[in-house]
Structure 1
Amino acid sequence: MSFTHQSPLVSSRRKLLGAGIAGGLLFAFHLPVRGQDKPLKVSDVSTGPFAPNAFIRIDVTGKTTLVMPQVEMGQGIYTAIAMILAEELDADYTTVALEAAPPSDKLYGNPAFGIQATGNSNSVRAFWMPLRKAGASARAMLIQAAAVQWKVEPSACSAASGEVIHAASGRRLSYGALAEAAGRQTPPADVPLKDPKDFTLIGKPLKRFDTPAKTDGKAIYGIDVMLPGMKFATVASCSVFGGKVGKVDDTAAKKVPGVRQVVVLDDLVAVVGDHMWAARKGLEALNITWDEGANAGVNSAAIWDALRKASAGDGVVAKSTGDVAKALAGGDTIEAAYELPFLAHAMMEPLNCTVRLTPDACEIWIGTQVMTRVQSEAAKAAGLPLEKVTVNNHLLGGGFGRRLEADMVAAAVRIARQVDTPLKVVWTREEDTQHDVYRPAYRDTISASLLNGRIAAWKYKVTGSSVLARWFPPAFQKGIDIDAVDCAVDMPYDIPNFHVEYVRAEPPVPTGFWRGVGPNNNVFAIECFMDELARKAGKDPIAFRRDMLGKQPRLQAALDLVARKSNWSDTLPARAGRGVSVQPAFGSFIATVVEAEVDERGEVRLRRVTSAVDTGIAVNPDTIVAQLQGGLIFGLTAALYGEITIANGRVEQSNFNDYRMLRIDEVPPIEVHVIKSGEAPGGIGETGVTAGPPALRNAIYAATGVALRRLPIDKEAIAVRSKT
Structure 2
Amino acid sequence: MAIRHFITGAAEDTPSPSRRGFLKAAGAAGGALMVGFWALPESIAAGINPAVDSYVASAFITIGADDSVTLTMAKVEMGQGAYTVLPMLIAEELEVDLDRVILRHAPPDAKVYGLPFGDQFTGGSLTIRTLWEPMRQTGAAARMVLIQAAANDWKVDVAECYAEHGAVIHRPSGRSVRYGQLVTAAAALPVPQKIVLKPADQFKLVGTPVKRLDAKDKVNGVAQFGIDVHLPGMLVASVAASPVFGGKLKSVDDRKTRKMHGVRQVVRLDNAVAVVADNTWYARKGVEALKVVWDEGANANLSTADLRALMTAALKKPGVVARNDGDALKVLASAGQTIERTYINPMLAHAPMEPLNCVVHVGPDSAEIWVGTQAPARARDAAAKVLGMAPEKVTLHNHLIGGGFGRRLEVDYVEQAAAIGRQVKGPVKVVWTREEDIQHDVFRGVYAHTVSASVNAEGFPVALYHKFAGPSNLARWAPGWMTKEGVDVDAVDGSINFPYSIPNMRSEFRTEDGPVPTGFWRGVGPTRNVPTLESFIDELAYKAGKDPLAYRLAMLDKHPRARHVLQRAAELAGWGTPLPKGQGRGIGLLYAWDTYVAQVVDLTVSDSGEISVQRVACVTDCGIAVNPDTVVAQLQGGINFALTAGLYSNITIKNGRAEQSNFHDYRLLRINEAPAIVVEVVKSGESPGGIGEPSVASLLAAFLNAIHAATGKRLYELPATPELIQQSRAA
Report the TM range for the smaller structure's normalisation: over 0.9
Q: 1:90 to 1:20 in 2, by over 3 A?
A: farther
Q: CA deviation at 1:325?
A: 3.0
Question: Please, which of 663, 668, 674 is the counterpart of residue 661 of structure 1?
Answer: 668
Match for 1:524 among 515, 531, 539?
531
Does 692-701 or 449-458 show the bigger shift? 449-458
Matched, 1:361 2:361: no
Q: What is the match of residue 58 of structure 1? A: 63
Distance across 2 between alignment mates of 1:404 and 1:248: 31
- SS of corresponding position for 2:530: helix
Distance 1:53 1:538, change over 3 A: closer
Q: Provide closer, same or farther for how the CA distance between residues 23 and 166 of structure 1 changes in structure 2, counting only shifts above 3 A.
A: same
- SS class of match (1:457): strand
Q: Name the structure 1 match of 2:308.
A: 304
Q: Report the Cα distance in structure 2 between the residues aligned to 1:23 and 1:535, rounded to whole angstroms.
A: 45
Matched, 1:257 2:261: yes
Give the deviation of 1:525 after TM superposition: 0.4
Deviation at 1:687, TM superposition (A): 1.0
Provide TM-score, normalisation by structure 1.
Answer: 0.93
Q: Secondary structure at the match of 1:337?
A: strand
Aligned 1:198-347 pairs, distance under 5 A: 198-328=202-332, 329-330=334-335, 332-347=337-352
1:589 partnered with 2:596 = yes
Question: Does residue 1:71 correspond to 2:70, yes or no?
Answer: no
Equivalent residue in structure 1 for 2:479, among 466, 473, 486: 473
Alpha-carbon separation, structure 2, partners of 1:643 and 1:564: 33
Of 381, 391, 404, which aligns to 1:399? 404
Matched with 2:17 is: none
Report how many residues are paired.
689
Other-structure match for 1:461: 467
Q: Which 10-residue stretch deviates more, 714-723 or 353-362?
A: 714-723
Deviations 1:239-265 (A, max 9, x none): 111111111100111122101111112
Q: State which of 142, 145, 169 in structure 2 corresponds to 1:141.
A: 145
Q: Is the 8 A contact 2:167 2:179 kept in 1?
A: yes
Contact 1:26 1:117 in 2 (8 A): no
Partner of 1:484: 491
Structure 1 residue 720: Cα displacement: 4.8
Q: How many angstroms apart in 1 are the aligned matches of 2:193 and 2:367?
A: 41
Is 1:603 the counterpart of 2:610? The answer is yes
State the alpha-carbon separation in 1 of the partners of residues 336 and 200 from structure 2. 49
Give the Cα–Cα distance (whole angstroms) in 2 for the partners of residues 305 and 251 of structure 1.
Answer: 44
Residues in 2 aligned to 1:309 and 1:126: alpha-carbon distance in whole angstroms? 38
- Counterpart position of 1:352: 357
In the TM superposition, what are the counterparts of 1:76-115 in structure 2 within 5 Å?
76-111=81-116, 113-115=117-119
- Aligned partners of 2:632 and 2:679 also within 8 Å: yes
TM-fit CA distance, 1:594: 0.6
Give the aligned partner of residue 503 of structure 1. Answer: 510
Decide whether the 8 Å contact of 1:26 with 1:372 is kept in 2: no
* Distance across 2 between alignment mates of 1:53 and 1:247: 47
Q: Distance in 2 between matches of 1:25 and 1:507?
A: 33
Please say if residues 609 and 671 of structure 1, whose CA atoms lie closer than 8 Å, have aligned partners that are also in contact.
yes
Separation in structure 2 between the aligned mates of residue 14 and residue 555 of structure 1, nearest angstrom: 22
Q: Which residue of 2 aligns with 1:706?
A: 713
Cα 1:378/1:52, change in 2 over 3 Å: closer
The equivalent position to 2:199 in structure 1, one of 181, 191, 195, is 195
Q: Within the alignment, does 1:123 sit opposite 2:127 as a pair?
A: yes
Q: TM-score, normalised by structure 2?
A: 0.92
Deviation at 1:301, TM superposition (A): 1.0
**2:37 aligned partner:** none
Q: CA deviation at 1:16?
A: 7.4
What is the CA deviation profile of residues 439-460 of structure 1, one whole-angstrom value per residue up to 9, with x for unaligned ones?
0111110001111232110011
TM-superposed deviation, 1:331? 5.8
Tell me how far 1:378 sits from its aligned partner: 0.9
Once the two structures are TM-superposed, the CA of residue 708 in structure 1 deviates from its matched residue by 0.3
The one of 136, 147, 158 equivalent to 1:132 is 136
1:632 Cα offset (Å): 0.6
Distance (Å, rounded) in 1 between the aligned partners of 2:99 and 2:602: 41
3-state SS of paired residue (1:656): coil
Whole-angstrom CA distance in 2 between matches of 1:428 and 1:717:
31
Cα 1:629–1:644 shift into 2, 3 Å: same
Aligned to 1:445: 450
Distance apart, 1:63 and its partner CA: 1.2
Alpha-carbon offset, residue 207 of structure 1: 1.1
Residues 1:693 and 2:700 are matched in the alignment: yes
Which residue number corresponds to residue 625 of structure 2? 618
Change (3 A) 1:24 1:185: closer
Deviations 1:27-53 (CA, angstroms, capped at 9, x unpaired): 99xxxxxxxxxxxxxxxxxxxxxx999
Contact 2:57–2:112 under 8 Å retained in 1: no
Indicate conservation of the 8 Å contact 2:588/2:701, yes or no. Answer: yes
- Identify which of 550, 553, 566 aligns with 2:573: 566
Q: How far does residue 115 in structure 1 lie from its aligned partner after superposition?
A: 2.0
- Checking the alignment, whether the CA contact within 8 Å between 1:463 and 1:505 is kept in structure 2 is yes
Equivalent position of 1:34 in the other structure: none
Question: Offset at 1:641?
Answer: 0.5
Distance 1:15 1:163, change over 3 A: closer
Task: Determine the structure 1 residue equivalent to 2:33.
Answer: none
Paired residues of 1:27 and 1:116 also in contact (CA < 8 A): no
**Could you list the per-position Cα deviations for residues 341-394 of structure 1 after superposition, in whole angstroms to 9, with x for gaps in the alignment?**
110000000000000110110100000000000110111111111110000000
Question: Does 1:371 find its partner at 2:376?
Answer: yes
Report if aligned partners of 1:52, 1:138 keep a CA contact under 8 Å in 2.
no
Q: CA deviation at 1:14?
A: 11
* 1:481 counterpart SS class: coil
Structure 1: 5+ residue stretches without partners: 1-12, 29-50
Displacement of 1:723 in angstroms is: 6.5
1:615-694 to structure 2, matched below 5 A, reads 615-694=622-701
Q: Distance in 2 between matches of 1:62 and 1:435?
A: 48
Letter in 2 for 1:642: S
Q: Please give the secondary structure, in 1, of the residue aligned with 2:574.
A: coil
Q: Which moved more, 1:309-318 or 1:459-468?
A: 309-318
The 1:354–1:605 alpha-carbon spacing in structure 2 relative to 1, beyond 3 Å, is: same
Task: Kindly indicate whether residue 451 of structure 2 is the aligned counterpart of residue 424 of structure 1.
Answer: no
Q: CA deviation at 1:405?
A: 0.5
Question: For 2:480, what is the secondary structure of its paired residue?
Answer: helix
Contact 2:226-2:357 at 8 Å conserved across structures? yes
Question: What's the secondary structure of 1:252's corresponding residue?
Answer: helix
2:5 paired residue number: none
Is the 8 Å Cα contact of residues 103 and 372 (structure 1) preserved in structure 2? yes
| Inter-partner Cα distance in structure 2 for 1:27 and 1:243 | 41
Tell me, in whole angstroms, the C-alpha distance in 1 between the residues paired with 2:259 and 2:357. 25
In structure 1, C-alpha distance between the alignment counterparts of 2:57 and 2:633, rounded to whole Å? 34
Could you tell me how far 1:25 is from its partner in structure 2? 11
**Deviation of residue 22 (structure 1)?**
5.1
SS of residue paired to 2:84: helix
* Pick aligned residue for 1:19 from 28, 46, 67: 46
For residues 207 and 191 of structure 2, the distance between their equivalents in structure 1, rounded to whole angstroms, comes to 28
In the TM superposition, what whole-angstrom CA distance separates every residue of 1:535-589 from its partner, at most 9, and x where no partner exists? 0111111111111111111111101111111101111111101101101111111
Matches of 1:25 and 1:257, distance apart in 2? 55
Q: Structure 2 CA distance, aligned partners of 1:522 and 1:27?
A: 35
